[in-house]
Amino acid sequence: MASPNLKKIAYHTLQQGKTLAGLAHKELSTKLMEVFAPDAAPDRFPIDKDLIKEVRRSMEKLEKIDWEEAEEGIYPQSQLFDAPWFEWAKKYPLVWMDMPLTWERRKKNKTREIPRGINEKDYPNYYLQNFHHQTDGYLSEHSAEIYDLQVEILFNGTADAMRRRVLAPLKRGLKKYLSQKTKTAKVLDIATGTGRTLQQIQSAIPEVELHGLDLSGSYLKQASKYLSSRSGDIVQLTKANAENVPFPSNNFQGLTCVFLLHELPREARQNVINECFRLLEPGGTFVLADSIQIEDSPGFTPIMENFHKIFHEPYYRDYIVDDINLRLKESGFTTITSESHFMTKVWKANKPV
């Protein structure tokens, strides 16, 4: 067995490797875009040296807490090394092949290229878009197949570490329900996408009955494939709009929602939070994770502005100034706390008893 120190070194080396790979990919793709599709390059806010230093510090803090919480036993250390490397290696060429299409979409400001055969009536209007300029939006297996890798590259290998920040508050909130013999707590991950948060919860809190929900059948199919390749109990996946979830009230003791709110217009954002309140049992815990916001991370404003300029994120600018605490309060949540980890802000809220 590797000594704890060796494991720590291995973890930091892995993170550094992922960061370098992400940066190299971005550098190369930007150079190629400048040569082959110069009109697709968006105006960007300059990122100065001080901000780059601040970004590095913030990533190091994220790595530190990610390691420490594994050491504390909040999740197994194996989580830190968990990634479908072979799958990602196979899919990497697809990311490159898709890139000229995303440049073209950005250049021509085409944001509503949805696959043929999709019944638009099944989806809210705000959903029928090419978020991040990605091919088919969230509505094809091709998109679902390369999503995880694209997100890892976007966040320079920190996406899973940021998702893991929901685990400590969720585990604390569920403590009173957990018994080792039976599954006494149910947890629903809203907008689960390809299921990475579900897998993290499954390995950190195997005692819970897990459910996932998303509006994309293709993403759920990918989640099902990914989760069934791991050990653990079956996770129940439901295709539905998070604004109107087909489960009874007070049905779950824990709820998570990762990286959804910034992709919703205001009204839908509030509807989803209200729905989370309805679904949660009194005393239950809601853990929400999404992008940092201007109010608590003003120094990172150029990065947030660039994200909105480079990727098609039509509701992001509104999200970064939105008062999520107030929205949580308005729907009835209490004991609301929040903290930021690199590019992610995590809220914890409870439904009062």
Ligand X SMILES: C[S@@+](CC[C@H](N)C(=O)[O-])C[C@H]1O[C@@H](n2cnc3c(N)ncnc32)[C@H](O)[C@@H]1O
Nearest distance from C-beta of residue 210 to ligand X, angstroms: 14
Size of the site for ligand X (CB under 6 A): 20
Residues 223-252, interacting with ligand X (CB under 6 A): 241-243
Q: Which amino acid is located at 298 in the chain?
A: P
CA dist., res. 251 & res. 264, Å (int): 24
Which span (71-79, 165-173, 189-197, 279-287) binds ligand X, by CB under 6 A?
A: 189-197
Tokens of 54: 């601040």
Which span (101-109, 193-201, 226-234, 320-328) binds ligand X, by CB under 6 A?
A: 193-201
Exactly one of 170, 260, 261, 328 binds ligand X (CB under 6 A); that residue is 260
Nearest distance from C-beta of residue 258 to ligand X, angstroms: 4
Exactly one of 69, 214, 275, 322 binds ligand X (CB under 6 A); that residue is 214
Q: Which residues face 337 on adjacent strands?
A: 348
Nearest distance from C-beta of residue 150 to ligand X, angstroms: 10
CA dist., res. 315 & res. 130, Å (int): 13
Which span (8-16, 33-41, 253-261, 314-322) binds ligand X, by CB under 6 A?
A: 253-261
Report the residue number whose CB is nearest to ligand X. Answer: 193
Best CA proximity match to 120, nearest among 242, 215, 243: 215
User: CB 80: neighbour CB atoms within 10 A?
Assistant: 22
Q: Does 347 bind ligand X (CB under 6 A)?
A: no
Considering beta carbons, is residue 177 or 342 the nearer one to ligand X? Answer: 342
Binding mask 113-152 for ligand X (x = CB under 6 A): --------------x----------x------------x-
CA dist., res. 312 & res. 1, Å (int): 46
CA dist., res. 210 & res. 174, Å (int): 13
Q: Does 197 bind ligand X (CB under 6 A)?
A: yes
Could you please report the per-residue DSSP string of 115-162? PTT--GGGS-GGGSS-GGG-TTTT-SHHHHHHHHHHHHHHTTT-HHHH
CA dist., res. 304 & res. 117, Å (int): 34
The helices-and-strands tally (H runs, E runs) of the chain is: 12, 7
Nearest distance from C-beta of residue 134 to ligand X, angstroms: 10
- The answer to whether 352 and 287 have CB atoms below 8 angstroms apart is no
Nearest distance from C-beta of residue 232 to ligand X, angstroms: 18
Residues 284-323, interacting with ligand X (CB under 6 A): none
Exactly one of 74, 170, 191, 280 binds ligand X (CB under 6 A); that residue is 191
Considering beta carbons, is residue 177 or 343 the nearer one to ligand X? Answer: 343
Upper half-sphere CA count for residue 48 (Cβ side, 13 Å): 3
Residues at the site binding ligand X, with contacts judged by CB under 6 A? 127, 138, 151, 163, 191-193, 196-197, 214-216, 219, 241-243, 258-260, 263
